[in-house]
Structures are given as structure tokens and as C-alpha cells.
Structure 1
């Protein structure tokens, strides 16, 4: 009977230390994601206002797709902002555990996640399911609303440790602006002619059905068979 009580008390203790903790982090991430959506919407409005008169053919548009996703279309690129509904911890041996901040309270390493992906706008428009996007950055928020960012370019080092201040709209705007610049600096590259010279009838029919060649932002265009070959290398 004592063992059963002990096990039960352990369950209650873990509900307090894990379940309640994760719910708090989830609420924090929802709050931050709402601010991120607001920042992205304002950024879209400013870009549209400042550039549409110069070249109205360059479309800049914001769309709040659903609770956990929003998108910014700027010309041929799409920035997708999404929030994961779960809470995560870092893998064993991650550098984060060596920081005094985490050593002082291990529960501070648990985080909610907001992703920033880059896709081609046509990938979304034509629903080309074989197309590949790239993760530009992920924003991690803990129970104290402190944050860090993992990403490409400047986003790989500017916010690499948990912040002393809470994340806010100004910081999120800077992160989003850097993400957009990263997208714009990554151009589509034609693959070697020989690698796309041969095509089966099935591949061509699939291509037509998908309204274009399966395309990745960093890969140029590749056929499905070639994508599989590359993945196996």
C-alpha cells in the first residue's frame, strides 16, 4: 500500500513539475506568437505602402491562415510563421545546459517553439507537395518568456543565449526582417543541365499535374527520382 501511495505522490509531483510547467510555457508561446503575427502584419503593411508605388507588380501580402500559422508573401517568396502546439526540451549534451541560467533552474530549458520557414510562393499557390522549403529560424520561449533564436546568418548568433529581457514586438520585428533578408539573399539556382536532361513520361505528366517542376528554394528544380537519389547520398 505504501508503494502505491508513493507512486501516486510521484505522479502528483510530476504533474506539478511537468504538466503545469508545460501549460505555462504553452500560454507564453501563444502570447508571443500573437505578437509575432502582429509584427508580421505591420511589416507587410509598411512594405506594401512603401514599395507598391514603385512597382505594383511586386505583391506584398499578409495572411493569417489559422491559429497556429501566418504567412507573408513578398514577390516570389513566402515566409511562413508557425507555432508548434507542444513544448520541448533540448537534447542531452546541448550547450544550453552549461549556462548558469539553466543550471540555476533546469525547468527553464523547456521551451515552446515558433518556426520561420521560407517557401517559394508558387509552391503554395500550386500546391506542389514535392517542393521543399527551408527553416530560416526557430524562436524558443521558456516559462519566464525569455527567448533564444536558432537560425541562418545573423539569426545564428544574435540571440544564441537566453535573453535577459522578455521578447517583445520590436525584437520580433527585427527577427522577421532578418529572416526576410535571408530569404531574398537565397536565389534559385539552375541544376546542371545533364541532371535534368532525361525525363520519363510519368515524370512529365506529374510535372504538368503539379503546375511546374518540383522545386526547392535551395535546390533549384529536381524530379522526384533525383530528390530520392540525393536524399540517399
Structure 2
């Protein structure tokens, strides 16, 4: 390949793929801002229904920056994280069977918003080694079409990619499904053999900083949890 061909190849990519990736980022960013607004709505609606009987179970939304938002729900925290990069799918992924993508492969480029479930005490006591679990991820392309991979996220899967635009109502459905799953996804006692030995250094650290590693399925295989999908 000569220098002219190389330069042409670079220019072609910059004018096509690079532009598409920028469009995907802007689309995902715009819809992440919409997600934050919906989280505020969810907080208000549920707190109004809960009333003042027990404020310990009130929802609490926190904007943690440009690409992170949190929603505290009782003893759980849902962390919504927008990845700043644009992704393509491997050739074995179901997305390639979509008519929408087959018409234009550039429709397959997506941004992603990950939804993690942490224990509130992990943040409250700064337990940096505690485990969080990915319970859903939302893929959004340049046109605002989306699909969801995750726990109980029915009706929003790959089959709907190309026919469903992300909007406030869809975000609320995704959020409420994640909340319900997190509330029903209980903290289990870790296997005895996993915690039967602890060093003096570890114990001193736990006493001083309360950092005993904790997670809802610590010591268990997450994909084999006992919550129905």
C-alpha cells in the first residue's frame, strides 16, 4: 500500500467511522442526562407514596458527575455509569441478525450505560473491597435506538433494537425493573470456609476501618443466583 492509499484510508475512516462514533457518544450523553431527570422523577414519585412514616426507606438520587449517578433504595445503591467510549459487537453477537443492522451496519455502534447494584453500607463505611454486581446494561446508538441486557429486563432486548427509541418512559421501566431486582436480590452469608481464617493484619484493618469484604453473592456464582430471571 503506497502513501496515497494510506492517506486516503485515514481520511475515509475519519469522515465515516470516526464521525459515527462521535455521534454515538453525543446520543448516549444526551440520553444519560435524560436518565438523570427520570431518576429524580422516580425519587419524587416513590417518596410521595412512601410518605413520612419511615424516612429510612426513602429513595435518594445523587448526581455524581458527568457520567455517574446513584439512586439509594433502602439498603441498596444503584450506580448508573455511562462509559465514554463507543463499542462494536463481536461477529457472534445477536445484534448482527437484526434487520435494522443488516440495512446499515453503522447502526450497530453503541454507547453503553451500566447499572450496578452495591450495598449502601459499602459507601457509608467506605468499604473499598466490597463487591458490586452488574444487573443491566443499556446500549444506545447514534439514532437513540436501544436494547437492554440484564436481569428481568424483558421486552427491551435485542429483538426490539431498531424499533424502540430510548425515552423517559423506557428509562423509568428500566430503572424500576432494576430497583425491584435489587430489592429482591438478598445478601447471603458467605461459605464458612471462605471466612474461617483471617490474619492479624486483616483483623486490625477491619477493626480500624470496618472493611470486611461484603457483597450480595460473595463466594457464590452470580449467574446461578436463586432469583428468577
What TM-score, normalized to structure 1? Answer: 0.88
For the aligned residue pairs, the C-alpha RMSD in angstroms reads: 1.8
State yes or no: 1:160 paired with 2:147: no
Partner Cα distance (1:168, 1:220) in 2: 38
State yes or no: 1:83 paired with 2:74: no
Runs of 4+ in 1 over 6 A off after TM superposition: none
| 8 A Cα contact 2:137 2:149, kept in partner | yes
| 8 A Cα contact 2:59 2:71, kept in partner | yes
Partner Cα distance (2:17, 2:208) in 1: 48
Partner Cα distance (2:157, 2:210) in 1: 40
Q: Cα gap change, 1:11/1:195 in structure 2, threshold over 3 Å: closer, same or farther?
A: closer
Partner Cα distance (2:194, 2:14) in 1: 55
How many Å apart are 1:209 and its aligned residue?
Answer: 3.3
| 8 A Cα contact 1:207 1:214, kept in partner | no
Which structure: greater strand fraction?
1
Say how many residue pairs are matched: 218
- Which residue is 1:119 aligned to? 118
Which runs of 5 or more residues in structure 1 are unaligned?
222-233
- Which residue is 1:72 aligned to? 71
How many Å apart are 1:8 and its aligned residue?
Answer: 0.9
Partner Cα distance (2:66, 2:3) in 1: 41
How many Å apart are 1:212 and its aligned residue?
Answer: 4.2
Bigger drift between 193-202 and 119-128 goes to: 193-202
Paired residue secondary structure (1:215): coil
What TM-score, normalized to structure 2? Answer: 0.89
Partner Cα distance (1:141, 1:192) in 2: 39
Paired residue secondary structure (2:2): helix
How many Å apart are 1:55 and its aligned residue?
Answer: 1.5
Q: Cα gap change, 1:209/1:59 in structure 2, threshold over 3 Å: closer, same or farther?
A: farther
